[in-house]
């Protein structure tokens, strides 16, 4: 085959495309389209041929479709001669076609090793995440759909958050039970207008209390930060080595033991959590949640982990 003749109309996003691609002096031809839709539409059209399916316009289904793909002699391209290579985030596995694609044996061997390495690393990461979270969900799809528009772009999702994860020194939500929070019924509840309003009222009161706190500061020195500092200092024997910490509260307050530091942090947290107005705001949220029998596990979990509530708005 020296030429590939295309005559397409109303094939997905392709309104009309008529072209003769001359391969007589080259093995590859690039087709440019400014809007990016051409790539996926052409790929879907060729995948349809490979799968023995018809093509068409998904939105305007009544439009007449034309799909003629042939060589210079008018012989239709056979399904067996087509391979659609999807973007890297939709990774394709080892198959006869991928091996054929890389005709150079050395390159093929390197490709297969890399592909197996990626898949092995992916499986080990997902296994570790599943063990840590105890989740029964498809975590690969969860990660993809959280950070990309679709559920099949796992590698793209990782690349998107890579820099942020590398810079993040702590994991404040590492112990959160994923399946309890990210349950479909819980998410629907949190999207309810009344629940949203109640949570926002709680957060407003909570932020006011943080602003008045002797030691805590919103966004910089929260209860979580204070707890992490307490843990890190204890793990590294900072106070046992006779060092001390000075807190700024209008008057100098020197902390010399781990127990003093823990008691100070816990006392400050307790003063905020026991505020009467905050308790009323939490009760209002709890009342709305209690009405929904489908989220009882979430209700119990939230009662024991009230610190999560400001993050659920």
Q: What is the pLDDT of residues 144-198, one digit of tens each?
A: 999 998 888 999 999 999 888 888 888 888 888 999 999 999 999 899 899 989 9
Q: What is the pLDDT of residues 7-61, one digit of tens each?
A: 999 998 788 999 999 998 888 888 877 665 577 889 899 999 999 999 988 777 7
Q: Do the Cβ atoms of 49 and 82 come closer than 8 Å? A: yes
pLDDT at position 91 is 46
Task: Please answer whether residues 244 and 254 qualify as being in contact, where contact means their C-beta atoms are separated by less than 8 angstroms.
Answer: yes
pLDDT in tens, 210-265: 888 888 877 777 777 777 788 888 888 888 888 888 887 767 788 888 888 888 88
**CB neighbourhood size of 201 (10 A):** 17
Which of helix, strand or coil describes residue 34? coil
pTM above 0.85, yes or no: no
- Give the pLDDT confidence score for residue 92 in this predicted structure: 52
Cα 63 from Cα 141, distance rounded (Å): 34
């Amino acid at each position: 085959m020296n030429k590939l003749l295309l005559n397409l109309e109303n094939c997905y996003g392709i309104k009309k495309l008529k072209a003769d691609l001359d391969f007589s002096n080259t093995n590859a031809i690039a087709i440019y389209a400014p809007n990016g839709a051409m790539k996926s539409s052409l790929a879907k059209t060729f995948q349809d041929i490979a799968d023995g399916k018809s093509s068409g316009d998904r939105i305007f289904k009544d439009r007449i479709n034309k799909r003629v793909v042939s060589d210079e002699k008018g012989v239709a391209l056979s399904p067996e001669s087509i391979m659609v290579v999807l973007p890297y985030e939709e990774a394709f596995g080892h198959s006869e076609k991928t091996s054929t694609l890389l005709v150079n044996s050395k390159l093929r061997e390197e490709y297969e090793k890399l592909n197996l390495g990626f898949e092995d690393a992916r499986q080990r990461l997902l296994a570790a995440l599943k063990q840590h979270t105890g989740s029964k969900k498809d975590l690969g799809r969860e990660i993809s759909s959280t950070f990309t528009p679709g559920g099949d772009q796992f590698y793209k999702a990782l690349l998107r958050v890579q820099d942020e994860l590398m810079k993040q020194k702590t994991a404040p939500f590492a112990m959160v039970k994923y399946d309890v929070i990210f349950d479909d019924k819980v998410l629907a509840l949190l999207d309810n207008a009344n629940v949203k309003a109640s949570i926002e009222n709680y957060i407003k009161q909570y932020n006011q209390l943080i602003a008045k706190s002797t030691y805590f500061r919103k966004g910089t020195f929260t209860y979580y930060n204070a707890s992490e500092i307490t843990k890190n200092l204890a793990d590294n024997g900072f106070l046992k080595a006779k060092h001390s910490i000075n807190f700024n509260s209008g008057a100098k307050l020197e902390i010399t033991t781990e127990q003093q530091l823990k008691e100070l942090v816990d006392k400050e947290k307790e003063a905020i959590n026991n505020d009467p107005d905050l308790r009323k705001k939490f009760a209002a949220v709890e009342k709305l949640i209690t009405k929904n029998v489908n989220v009882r596990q979430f209700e119990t979990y939230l009662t024991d982990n009230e610190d999560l509530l400001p993050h659920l708005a």
